[in-house]
Amino acid sequence: MWGGRFVSGPDAIMEEINASIGFDYKFASQDIRGSLAHVAMLAEQGIIEREAAKAITEGLEQVGREIEAGSFTFSRALEDIHMNVESRLAEIVGPDAGRLHTARSRNDQVALDFRLWIRDTIDTLDLQLQGLQQALAQRALDHAGSVMPGFTHLQSAQPVTFGHHLMAYVEMLGRDRSRLIDARKRLNECPLGAAALAGTSFPIDRAMTAKTLGFDRPTANSLDSVSDRDFVLETLSAAAICAVHLSRFAEEIVIWATPQFGFAALSDKFTTGSSIMPQKRNPDAAELVRGKSGRVIGALTGLLVVMKGLPLAYSKDMQEDKEGTFDALQALSLCIAAMTGMVGDLTPDLKRMKAAAGSGYAIATDLADWLVRALNMPFRDAHHVTGRLVAMAAERKIPLEKLSLEDMQSVDKRIVAQVHDVLGVEKSVRSRTSYGGTAPNNVRAQAKAWLKKLAREDKRGG
């Protein structure tokens, strides 16, 4: 492609380090879409003849069909997806294929392809996350009143419901989707026409190509157009946060599935056995979701390091933006699918969860709150009184609610029999009626609201 300037071919090592077709073949569909829009604009502007444009268009469509059918042969010698497509186009339509590259560069071409690919991928991820939210919200509705321990520091804190716990992840995923959608809005500008870095002297219509390709507008600065990878970084950042959320949930599933906790179990569909220990049922799907989060976070870090020292405009370092991104977003997609499957497969042990909810004196805060409400006691004093009662119950190795009224009055004489009305895990969760609290009615309302919202998204296509 640059034979006019060079008199010999590249060294084998140069070809090895330089070629990108081994991974940027993933841009095939986007590359052809971009070229179709570009050639239509060139013809409309009178930059190339309509007959040549017609032949190029038909040739590009044939190349697209060949790639989709798997009959296209990719060549490392042609370096990247752009030259592979153009070379095959030349075989189909002859010399007119060379007119396709008028008024553009591989710099704005790859920036366009990548934006289109990221945009398509965000749409897919958003649809997957929507499905995971629906699965979580439905399970939450089913278990709005199922009591389990709530933890801080992985120590029993206060009783919550299983539905409330699941709804926390619905909220997290909602923010993840919002971040991805925001990234999509910002990337939706078309770099095509920026050419190598300075624009072009041909009378192109960048608004036309932007509209054809579904962008809101053309990018405003040609230097920024070809050197910007913010849209990749922002998407990877949103993906990394999402991966962290999935990893946290996966960690909880791993913990719940241990015999020591025994809160929930996965079926054979999402577990594996041991080659030596016949009794084992390992939650490998959850562990792999937890592990793959590192790949997503690593891809973000890697690209930040690549970009941090690059002057404007394009540098070959930027070829390193693709492999990590492809791998990370593919891994995230797989993790979302696996987590959606596990949410549907997970079988909670409601009896064990409820029993554990009362351990560790988790209803102590309910007692302190009652002292404040019923006796008008300052909360710090109520905290102190409750702490003494917890110490008494712990010394006797009995639950807090098993302390007699006389026991409680030995610590504070003002305590009356009604105190027992608030002691108990189910009473505790029912009392948490503040907005966003764990009361079963709250959880049902939130789950139904989310399911209704997600159903509306289904009807309008996301």
Whole-model pTM: value is 0.91
* Residue 404 annotated in active site: no
pLDDT at 145: 97
Q: Which residues of 283-318 are buried (b: 16+ CB within 10 A; e: fewer)?
A: bbbbebbbebbebbbebbebbeebbeeeeebbeeeb
pLDDT at 135: 98
At 6-58, the pLDDT tens digits run 556 666 776 667 678 888 889 999 999 999 999 999 999 999 999 999 999 99
Q: What is the mean pLDDT of residues 351-372?
A: 91
Phi, psi (5° rounding) for residue 144?
A: -60, -30
At 299-318, the pLDDT tens digits run 999 999 999 999 999 999 99
Hunting for tokens 């990247």 — which residue is that? 80
Catalytic position from the list 75, 267, 274, 359: 274
Q: What is the per-residue DSSP string for 43-80?
A: HHTTSS-HHHHHHHHHHHHHHHHHHHHT-----GGG-S
The answer to whether the CB of 342 falls within 8 A of the CB of 267 is no
Q: How crowded is residue 77: how many other Cβ atoms within 10 Å of its Cβ?
A: 12
The answer to whether the CB of 367 falls within 8 A of the CB of 386 is yes
Phi, psi (5° rounding) for residue 372?
A: -70, -50
At 142-173, the pLDDT tens digits run 999 999 999 999 998 899 999 999 999 999 99
Q: What is the mean pLDDT of residues 418-425?
A: 91
Return the closest-CA partner of residue 316 out of 13, 100, 110: 110
pLDDT at 36: 98
Catalytic position from the list 153, 275, 404, 434: 153
Q: What is the mean pLDDT of residues 186-198?
A: 97
Q: What is the mean pLDDT of residues 204-228?
A: 98
The pLDDT > 70 percentage for the chain reads: 96
* Residue 274 annotated in active site: yes
> Average pLDDT, whole number, for the chain?
93
Residue type, 5: R
At 234-248, the pLDDT tens digits run 999 999 999 999 999
pLDDT at 3: 53
Instruction: In whole angstroms, give the CA distance from residue 68 to residue 19.
Output: 22
At 90-125, the pLDDT tens digits run 999 999 999 999 999 999 999 999 999 999 999 999
pLDDT at 92: 97
Instruction: In whole angstroms, give the CA distance from residue 275 to residue 353.
Output: 31
Q: How confident is the model at residue 178 (pLDDT cuts 50, 70, 90)?
A: very high
At 71-84, the pLDDT tens digits run 999 998 888 999 99
